[in-house]
Amino acid sequence: MDYLVFQLQAPLSAWGETAVGEFRPTANYPSESALLGLLAAALGIRREEEDAHAALRKGYGFAIGVLASGRLLRDYHTAQVPGRFKLKNRPHHTRLDEINLPKGDLNTILSTRDYRQDAASLVAVQMRDGAPYTLSDVVQALAKPRFTLYLGRKACPPALPLNPQIISVENAQAALHDYHKKLVERSSEKVPAFERIVWGEGIESGMVHDLEVVRKDRLLSRGHWQFGDRIEYVALAPQGEQ
């Protein structure tokens, strides 16, 4: 079976979890919805193209090899926003339009946003029946993306090229280990071993999982930021060579 494998590494990344009130947490490895958004950006799919996003969700599954969870960075964030009624019947296509009001009509929102510092992962993509693009198409898109790629938030660009490769092996574990071995061979610095490997339902993982967790990262509507629950499997001590 063919797998598309690429790397994700950045000084800052933010993989959004369920947000309540002013707190915006992050997981320590990518969510399914974030990976689908990354593919969509590379392919040039806009946020309002709901059918295209749904096709991506149905067409591809992911396994993630976590090399480094990174360190937590918590940012105290403030932003000015107008009251809801102040925007009524006013065009606000840009951020400047939105805040172009007298200071007395602007409110201040306080929030706490979490990031991961120096996190790194490898991602294996498995194509399902009916996938809208071949793995070769996705490789080309990740190598030369249509839209800017970032790791969760716009303040989190990748530190390195994603270096996508198609690897023909029997399962996702073998694909991740093959890519990892090549990283070790060509890197002048020490490449960490996998901390864990996680995967979704329907993936030929080649591993026995230690945990089943529920994540609310199943994309329902990109335009309305709606997400549902899905099951994710976790191997805490991945089998095989590191």
Per-residue pLDDT reduced to its tens digit, 150-196: 999 999 999 999 999 999 999 999 999 999 999 999 988 889 999 99
Domains of the chain: residue spans and CATH: 2-70+120-235 (3.30.70.2660)
Per-residue pLDDT reduced to its tens digit, 80-97: 877 777 767 777 677 777
- Please state, for a pLDDT cut of 90, what percent of the chain lies above it: 70
Q: Angle between the 50-59 and 32-43 helix axes, to the nearest 10 degrees? A: 120
**What letter does residue 105 receive in the DSSP assignment?**
G
Q: Is pLDDT of 240 > 70?
A: no
Per-residue pLDDT reduced to its tens digit, 211-230: 999 999 898 888 777 889 99
Written as six digits, the tokens of 63 are 């396994």
Q: Give pLDDT, residue 242.
A: 47
Of the two residues 110 and 237, the one the predictor is more confident about is 110
Per-residue pLDDT reduced to its tens digit, 97-121: 777 878 777 888 788 999 999 999 9
CA dihedral 234, 235, 240, 242 (to 10 degrees): 80
> How far apart are alpha carbons 55 and 218 in whole angstroms?
13
The H-assigned helical ranges of the chain are 32-43, 50-59, 95-99, 135-143, 172-186
